[in-house]
A and B are shown apart, each in its own frame.
Chain A
Amino acid sequence: MGLPGVYFRRTVKVLRTEVLVLPSRVAVLVFIVALMALPIFTQDYYFLRVLILTSIFAIFAASWDLLSGFTGQMNFGHALFFGVAAYVTALLNLKLGLPPYFSIPLGAVGGVLTGLIVGIPCLRLKGSYLALTTLAFPIILTGVVFAIPDITGGELGLAGLSRLTGSRVMDYYLTSGLMLILGFTMWKITDSKTGIILHAIREDELAVRTAGVNTTRYKLLAFCMSGFFAGVAGGLYAHFMRLAGPSGLEVGLSFQVIIWAVFGGMVTIYGPIAGVFILYPLMEILRVVLDNFPSLPEIRMFIFAGLVLLTLLFMPEGLIPWVRDKIETECPRCKVRNVFSRHRCRVCDADLD
């Protein structure tokens, strides 16, 4: 047995003892494998396009959760980061001719700076004030975009960006891979010491301050990190659609991201991602299905809103936490999660029933 054998055995052991014992981890594994293997089975142009957009919006929704879910800084204007990054990326690509792998990171830096600019006035605000104030920023910027059409392209936006990569399949792997990496990064951030402080700020900011933590700095950090991830999504979107327009700043997009995130389940990171992966393709399927009934009026958004309302009535915490609590129980003694069918904890053998 050489070194590869050791690694292989270790991987198998981790799989058996840590992943296969919990249905939620199995689901994540299946999801990742399915996402990566999908182009082997179909390379349908439209199908991949839907999934690419889903991945982009999944990054976007998770970044909202990082700021609003974990830190409790309810952001109603999250489209600002997305839109600014899209415009920065587009301007860098069109005016300076930078390729996507430079313009998208720089666009994300634009998102970080926006996070700083918005974050500083918002630090003094709390709760509903903060939510309603953040709503204002993208609308202000939309007005400016319309007022200076020479630079921003006005209503039509900036079109004709260079393609993300050469082919659709490469686009797919880039966006879904980035989605997995960034989603994992965000999840890791929320699990780290910083993440715990952010979580504590949401629960009781005064207590955190009393414990000697500079909460101002951490809240600004949350704004910047969220701006960065949303900025990556905005840049990817601009290059994929080859267009950066005022639609990226719309109130509708800000509301949409909140709907995705809360539908999937806030304060989880994977909840919003799952929310996008359920709702966005579902809307596309509905579009295709409804196209076969041209006599029906445009009821897609109506169905969407109704679905969200009904889901919330029965699972106000969001879909994913509800499902997770159904299929897993937490051990009362050692706080390790177990499959619902077990009667004794898999680690400490405590009675679960």
Chain B
Amino acid sequence: MILDIIIDGLIKGSVYALLAIGFSLVLGVARIINIAHTALYMTAAYLIYIGTKMMGLPAPVAMVASILLTVVLGLLIYNFFIKPIQEHEAAVLIATIAVAMMIQEVFLMIFGGHYLGVNPLIDGYATILGVKVTYQHLLALGLALVVLLATRVFLQKTRLGLAIRSTAQDREVANLMGMNVTRVAMGTMAVSVGMAAITGAIVVPLVTVEPTMWMHPLIMMLAIVVLGGLGSIEGSFVGAFILGFAESMVVFLLPMGSFLKDSVALSIMILVLLIRPEGLFGVSFEEER
């Protein structure tokens, strides 16, 4: 039981961390609350289903192709629907909601509301301390941690990473220092959508693929970002593991767990906010200083 919770919590935590970090990058740099973020995660999952089940591609090829396609789609959406109205905060918000709805409806049209599944990359299971853990779970966990590490290195060591971090800190000064803020925002969007797509690719064998699968991760992701502090990468990381473990504990331990998992996670978020209104690792934005 305890090991179940630990494995499940680690996987959920790292998946949420990937989603939340991608989301908070865009929020920090471009001030966009991208509701469509997890819809793009769903897009990647569906594309992998199409690639492996319908076109018969080998799984790694399908994964890479779907990630690339999703990034292209994300950039197209950004360019055509978000960038022209960027000054109007409320309009951007609705635009992303509408995009998410459109993506959901497209998949509902093509596949109907059926529950679909993708074969695991590797079969079989290992026995750790007497508990069966499938290799797929271990693989997902490993991949997620590798991507998290890669993101960390990218943000800390590369020039684009530096540009993203500095733009997030102070857009105006970054602009004054000669950075092309629009292009940085574009790059951030690509990185963010890429992370959502990779997350989708990693978890697709573990979840059921259906047109509303973006809702639950969306809510958890938003809660994590608020809990950790908006725009803070460390905050998103820590928050993701807190809420990931909380969710798996509720599911495994409480009798009505699966109904209450969202409630408990969000109550934790509100409790933290009551004590620290700026979140765990809150950074104050330029406008709010």
Contacts and interface: CB of A to CB of B under 8 A. Distances in A.
B228 to A, nearest CB: 11
Interface stretch (B93-101, B118-126, B140-148, B189-197): B93-101
Contacts of B99: 305, 309
Contacts of A298: 105, 108-109
Nearest to A154: B259
Contact of B267 (A128, A140, A308, A317): A140
Contacts of A305: 98-99, 101-102, 105
Contacts of B201: none
Contacts of B1: none
B263 A140 contact: yes
Give the bracket for the number of chain B residues in contact with chain A.
35 or more
Contacts of B59: none
B262 interface: yes
A121 B94 contact: no
Interface in B240-265: 256, 259-264
B97 A313 contact: no
Given A128-B33, A305-B98, A299 B263 contact: no
A343 interface: no
Nearest to A143: B263
Majority-rule SS of A interface residues = helix
Contacts of A313: 81, 84-85
A308 B98 contact: yes
Contacts of B90: 74, 258, 262, 266
Contacts, number: 131
B219 A259 contact: no
Contact of B88 (A128, A131, A143, A316): A316
B106 interface: yes
A129 to B, nearest CB: 6
Nearest to A250: B215
Contacts of A4: none
A306 B102 contact: yes
Contacts of B260: 143-144, 146-147
Interface residues of A, number: 43
A27 interface: no
B269 interface: yes
B10 interface: no
A146 B262 CA distance: 12
A124 interface: yes
Contacts of B230: 128-129
Interface string B225-241: 11000100000000000
A131 B97 CA distance: 14
Nearest to A296: B109
Nearest to B276: A124
A50 B38 CA distance: 33
B91 interface: yes
A259 B94 contact: yes
B279 interface: yes
A297 B109 contact: yes
Contacts of A133: 226, 269-270, 273
B277 interface: yes
B98 A316 contact: no
A302 B102 contact: yes
Contact of B109 (A266, A302, A317): A302
A340 interface: no
B25 interface: no
Nearest to B264: A143
Interface of A: 74, 121, 124-129, 131-133, 135-137, 139-144, 146-147, 251, 255, 258-259, 262-263, 266, 297-299, 301-302, 304-306, 308-309, 312-313, 316-317
In the A-B complex, the 7 residue pairs with the smallest Cβ-Cβ separation, listed nearest first, are A143-B263, A136-B266, A146-B259, A302-B105, A316-B88, A124-B277, A316-B91
Given A128-B230, A262-B91, A302-B102, 17 more contacts: A127-B285, A129-B277, A132-B222, A133-B226, A136-B219, A139-B263, A140-B262, A141-B263, A143-B259, A147-B259, A251-B219, A259-B98, A302-B109, A305-B98, A305-B99, A306-B98, A312-B88
